Structure 1
Amino acid sequence: MAAAPGAPPPSAKGSLREDLTCAICCDLFREPVMLSCMHHFCKACISRYWRGMQGPVTCPQCRKEFRSKQFQTNYLVAAMVEKVRSSTSDTHIRNLEKKLSESLASHNSMKEDLISSIHKDKDKMDTIKRVGADLQVRVKGDFRALHQILEEEETHMLDQLRREEEEELEKVQRHLEATELAIRELESNIKLLQQSTVALTEFPQLRPCVEVSTAADFDVSAFSSKYLAPLQYVTWRRMFKSLKPGPAALTFDVDTAHPSIHVSRDKTVAVECDVMTQHADDSKRFLQCVNILAAQGFQSGRHYWEVEVGSSPKWDLGVASETVDRHGRIKLSPENGYWTMRLRNGSEYWGGTQPWTKLQLGSSPQRIGVYLDCDERKVAFYDADDMSLLCLFSKGPRGKVFPFFSPCISENRQKPHLLKLLHYPAVALSG
């Protein structure tokens, strides 16, 4: 029998259903009423019990006598009875079973997704470690070819690589820990759901599921680019910047020059001009676009050259396959045999993809360094003053290629655009 408000709590051994059971009919209360002795009975049961009694009546439980047949309806107990009655109905049990089953399936699915994410994170960590180890071998190999004085620079570069590797690993580790935490929360909810599936009384109070964001892919090319650069040359330039050293000199191939391009006598300066030069042999020449190639071509090894662009508001630089169409008007893109970087409007730099990729540069370089690794198929562009990376193609050309240049067409009577190949003492790159 349920106790009234303020009465001592029911025995811990008794169930809620027992507390809400009428002592007369031994079933859940129907229209529960309370006597002055605080005992509860069904209204119909106590009315039948007192029927025919003359004079004082008694409580069926404690036998306390009352002068009159008085009781009061207990609406709180009535509400509790209805809740218990509805929670034990067949429909409620079926709905609860369905809800528990669906929630359990959902949590198991989420757990599987997170476990899969953990496997991916661990694979990613293995990749980072493998790439980091490979890069350390590459860096050490380049530095061994330099003089002993470069050991300090080598140590600095390796420390930077290790820091960046640790930063990448830390990112993945944080995601891994967040994922494992989410799994623990899910397992706690799954345990509650499994326990509730057995009891089937009410839906448990679940912890909010921790949301784990999708981890960004590890960009091997971006991570590796600065360590796959011409490290010996980069370091050499940093140490001897006042001497302005450079690689072996290139020269322009006059036979490839568009008719509006004038080449200096020493073949190191190309400038666009209004007067077009007539040539007898046009088999190698660009006829539609204002382009020119270098006389030196490459199909193996690692190569680096520099071009002075000065304050020219527009130009195109890079490499071109030997087989490119030189007589038609072709868009510069790797699909058409060009790996280039361009400047437009004096401050807009673009990577030569289709569509073009906008480059965010902190300043306007006056000299551009172009690095070609034929064996690893990489083409990179640098600000030759500080050797900061400007643009990288990680899937470069196959076969023979030539350094490519375009001073572009000058507009509105601007000063003719000039490109100059920079000549410095020869530098032997490792490999």
Structure 2
Amino acid sequence: MASATATKKMREEATCSICLELMTEPMSIHCGHSFCRRCIEGILENPQGTSSLRKPQCPLCRTPFQRESLRSIKQLENLIQTVKEIDSERLCEKHGEQLRLFCEDDGQLICLCCEHSPQHRGHSTALVEDVYPGYKEKLQEIVTKLKGEQDLCDSLKMFRKKEIAQWKENIELRRQEIQSEFRNLHNFLNEKERAYLWRLEKEKEQMLRRLQEGEASLVKQSSELESLILKSEKKCQESAQNFLQGVKGQLKRLSDVELKLPEAVSLTPETACNVSELYFDLKKMLKTYQVSVTLDPRTIHCDLILSEDRRHVTCGKPQEKHLSYKRYHTFPCVLGCERFASGRHYFEVDVGAGSEWALGVCLGNVQRFWDHVPEPQSGFWAIRLCQKNYYMALTSPPTSLTLRERPLLVGVFLDFEAGHVSFYNMNTGSHIFTFPRASFSGTLRPYFQVNHCSLFLPPPLESF
């Protein structure tokens, strides 16, 4: 280590007499004095001499000089770098000596004098340059671990955001499901609908609060991990003495850092509407509008067989029937005898285990002799069961229906003035489908299409 006197002399040699700082890009002039490049060029640009020609002069000896005499001094530049390195070295506060040793027991830098003092006598010590690589490697390993934790944290943040979006989507789907169940249950069910939606909204708020708290925790942890990583990486760039100062404590603190994972949550809403519990109320409501429906033999297709009480129709062998414009000739269909021109009306159809059928209402004057497309534009409001248990509403285009349970008893509700035709699974008391509002332009009649099955119209007194 250079003595304090030698260091002082080197600093004096390396100090610019103009700015009084260590020289930057030292330059000499022909008189032998040296200055910073920016300082001596400032003299050239603004000469302060007293002669009429105002030639630039050396600030120390007043010897005139010209720009051509400027020369860079590489040796002096190296000396300045050495002085800077000496300035950056940490010295023992007690002995003023260079801290060349690292005490493993106390985890601190010491000088040669400290090693022989009572405080450190018998302790395990090593040269700074010997222990520096090992501790630096350990810190870099921890930095790698912290980066892995941050990557995991970022992944969890993205996953939590997806969970929040999925939760909102599931809430919205459940909201639509509940609203669909309640939409056609009229005024006396409205209070129950609002109660379920209120509970669902509260559940949404509570769960969102939990999810967002988890997200906020991850954001905070990510910021803290990033800060630790930046500080650790910055420390790895320090000199050996600065790096080892307090490194053991820092290693322990960083090793203890662990990511706190957010709690796992279920994204399935607990609030659900079990409409079957409202079955009695639904039947009670519909009962007030129930009508007795029988089948009209004048409209029946020749492949269908009608019972004597005109409530049961089934497929059979073709039968001879007189031709009539009132009779269906293309499709195996039959109409009900009843006609609805106003008011509310409800009837039930026992579809049993039939594999293909269609039922609903149609305008009384629909085409029966030729092909027809059963849709509202043609005067039909009906639902259909196709093969393989595929249900659809005969809208234009058809609407696929997803039913939780196979209906055996289907209820048809007509509100003429409101322009609504609704269908219910009366086994579970659940709503199946309601057609968009229509403006009926004539009399409506019950409509049935029978393909490879049989349908039965229970009398009102036998349906409860």
Please give the TM-score of this superposition, normalised by the length of structure 2. 0.49
1:320-339 CA distances to partner (integer Å, 9 max, x unpaired)? Answer: 44387645667877898453
Partner of 1:83: 137
- Paired residue type of 2:136: E
In the alignment, structure 1 residue 422 sits paired with structure 2 residue 459: yes
Using the TM superposition, give the Cα deviation of residue 205 of structure 1 relative to its aligned residue in structure 2, in angstroms. 4.0
Write the deviation string for residues 46-83 of structure 1: whole angstroms up to 9, x where unpaired. Answer: 9xxxxxxxxxxxx4334469xxxxx9789994454433
Tell me the equivalent position of 1:257. Answer: 300
Q: Secondary structure at the match of 1:369?
A: strand
Q: In 1, Cα distance between the equivalents of 2:361 and 2:285?
A: 28
CA distance in 1, matches of 2:390, 2:162: 39
Q: What secondary structure sits across from 2:346 in the alignment?
A: strand
Tell me the equivalent position of 2:360.
319
Counterpart for residue 303 of structure 1: 345
1:117, CA displacement in angstroms? 7.8
The Cα shift of 1:139 comes to 0.5
Contact map agreement 1:290 1:406 (CA 8 A) in 2: yes
Cα 1:265–1:397 change in 2 (3 A) is farther
Structure 2: distance between partners of 1:270 and 1:131: 32
CA distance in 2 between partners of 1:339 and 1:357 (Å): 12
Looking at structure 1, the residues matched to 420 and 451 of structure 2 have their Cα atoms a distance apart, in angstroms, of 27
Corresponding residue for residue 381 of structure 1: 424
Change (3 A) 1:74 1:98: closer
One-letter amino acid of the structure 2 residue matched with residue 380 of structure 1? F
Residue correspondences, number: 337
Q: What's the counterpart of residue 434 of structure 2?
A: 394
Partners of 1:296 and 1:103 lie apart in 2 by 69
Q: Aligned partners of 1:213 and 1:118: how far apart in 2?
A: 9
Cα displacement (A) at 1:138: 1.1
> For residues 390 and 166 of structure 2, what CA distance do their matches in structure 1 show?
36
* Structure 1 residue ranges without an equivalent (≥5): 1-16, 47-58, 66-70, 142-157, 238-244, 411-416, 426-431
Corresponding residue of 1:55 = none
Q: 1:18 to 1:296 in 2, by over 3 A?
A: farther
The alignment partner of 1:61 has SS state of helix
The one-letter code matched in structure 2 to 1:234 is K
Superposed CA deviations along residues 328-362 of structure 1, whole A, max 9, x for unmatched, are 66787789845325497xxx865335686574548
> Do the aligned residues in 2 keep the contact of 1:407 with 1:418 (CA within 8 Å)?
yes
User: For the structure 1 residues 113 and 356, does the alpha-carbon distance in structure 2 shift closer, same or farther, using more than 3 Å as the test?
Assistant: closer
Contact 1:263 1:270 in 2 (8 A): yes
Contact 1:259 1:279 in 2 (8 A): no
User: 188, 192, 210: which one pairs with 1:139?
Assistant: 188
TM-score (norm 1): 0.51
Q: Larger deviation: 102-111 or 396-405? A: 102-111
2:284 equivalent in structure 1: 234
Residue 406 of structure 1 pairs with residue 449 of structure 2:
yes
SS at structure 2 position matched to 1:279: coil
Letter in 1 for 2:299: T
The residue that corresponds to 1:369 in the other structure is: 411
Displacement of 1:303 after TM fit? 2.2
Structure-2 residue corresponding to 1:292 = 334
Amino acid corresponding to residue 451 of structure 2 in structure 1: C
Which residue of the partner structure matches residue 27 of structure 2? none
Residues 130, 419 of structure 1: CA spacing in aligned structure 2 closer, same or farther, 3 A cutoff?
closer
**Are positions 1:60 and 2:113 aligned together?**
yes
Is 1:316–1:406's contact at 8 Å kept on the other side of the alignment?
Answer: yes
Contact 1:117 1:179 in 2 (8 A): no
Deviations 1:281-334 (A, max 9, x none): 33x54322211122445576532112355x675562521443876456678778
The 1:397/1:268 distance shift into structure 2, 3 A limit, reads farther
Change (3 A) 1:388 1:162: same
1:111–1:186 Cα contact (<8 Å) kept: no
- Secondary structure, aligned partner of 1:60: helix
**Separation of aligned partners in 2, 1:133 and 1:264:** 37
Deviation at 1:179, TM superposition (A): 1.4
- Seen in structure 2, the aligned counterparts of structure 1 residues 319 and 131 have a Cα distance that, compared at 3 Å, is closer
Contact 1:104/1:193, CA 8 A, preserved across alignment: no
Shift of 1:132: 11
Question: How is 1:2-81 mapped onto 2 (pairs within 5 angstroms)?
Answer: 25-26=98-99, 59-63=112-116, 77-81=131-135
Unaligned runs of 5+ in 2: 1-88, 119-124, 235-253
Q: Distance in 1 between matches of 2:299 and 2:182?
A: 44
State the one-letter code of the partner of 1:138: N
Distance of aligned partners of 1:343 and 1:389 in 2 relative to their CA distance in 1, 3 Å threshold: farther
- Give the whole-Å Cα distance in 2 for the aligned partners of 1:280 and 1:133: 46
1:392 Cα deviation after fit: 0.6
Pair 1:132–1:24, CA change in 2 (3 A): farther
The residue aligned with 2:77 is none
Alpha-carbon deviations, 1:355-394, whole Å to 9, x = none? 86574548x84x54322345373522333xxx63366113
CA contact (8 A) 2:276 2:428 kept: no
Matched residue type, 1:379: S
Q: How many Å separate the matches in 2 of 1:285 and 1:183? A: 68
CA contact (8 A) 2:150 2:226 kept: no
Bigger radius of gyration: 2
Give CA deviations for 1:261-295 in whole Å, capped at 9, x if unaligned: 3556775454444243343333x543222111224
CA contact (8 A) 2:196 2:271 kept: no
Mapped partners of 2:430, 2:181: distance in 1: 22
CA deviation profile, 1:153-195 (whole Å, cap 9, x unmatched) = xxxxx6x767755663464345324313323422431452464
- Give 3-state SS (helix, strand or coil) of 2:224's partner: helix
> Which is further off, 163-172 or 117-126?
117-126
How big is the alpha-carbon RMSD for the aligned residues of Structure 1 and Structure 2?
6.3
CA distance in 1, matches of 2:452, 2:169: 51
Structure 1 CA distance, aligned partners of 2:349 and 2:136? 88
**Counterpart contact for 2:167–2:267, Cα < 8 Å:** no
